[in-house]
Amino acid sequence: SIPRNLGSGAPETVLASIAGKYSAVYAYDASDMADPWKSYTPGIPGGDLTSISHRMGLWIRMTEAATLTVDGDMPTTTSIPLYEGWNLVGYPAGMARAVPTALTSIAGKYTLVYEYDPGAAGGPWRSYSPAVPDFANTLQQMHPGYGYWVRVTEDCTLMVGW
């Protein structure tokens, strides 16, 4: 995810620092039940991912290793609307926080959280469920710059603060 308010959300602008090093970008918009997956492919018109924001979680298909650098203001508080079922969201905060602390605003409304980190020891997927003992959760903290799959039981709003 992009943990900053962006001046321009145009994908080619936001991703300029990794131009030529990725082949596609995907986002999941749970508010669009008919077509939730949005995509942008550089150089190919017609993609439906036309704007990137700090509220989004992104899948970027890299063709080589690169570091994404973005400019923008650090948000103080961000409201992220969530829709019943799965949501792919960003975590625009100033620091890592324990999952229950990071998700205080939706306590009792989420059932599962996933994080994907391809470089993580032990495998790329980590998960957190409030229904299991803490030792059984492989995801302990949410980190700025990561995207998260969050499953909620009802429409609600996640508040992320610095």
- The predicted model gives 1-16 an average pLDDT of 90
| % of the chain exceeding 70 in pLDDT | 100
Count CB-CB contacts under 10 A for residue 76: 11
Tell me the pLDDT band of 72, cut-offs 50, 70 and 90. Answer: confident
Tell me the pLDDT band of 71, cut-offs 50, 70 and 90. Answer: confident
Q: Give the integer Cα–Cα distance in Å for 144 and 52.
A: 16
- Mind listing the pLDDT tens digit for each residue in 93-148? 989 999 999 999 999 999 999 999 988 888 999 999 999 999 999 999 999 999 99
6, pLDDT greater than 90: no
CB contact burial 99-136 (16+ within 10 A = b; e otherwise):
beebbeebeebbebbbbeeeeeeeeeebebeeeeeeee
pLDDT of residue 20: 97
- Mind listing the pLDDT tens digit for each residue in 43-52? 998 899 999 9
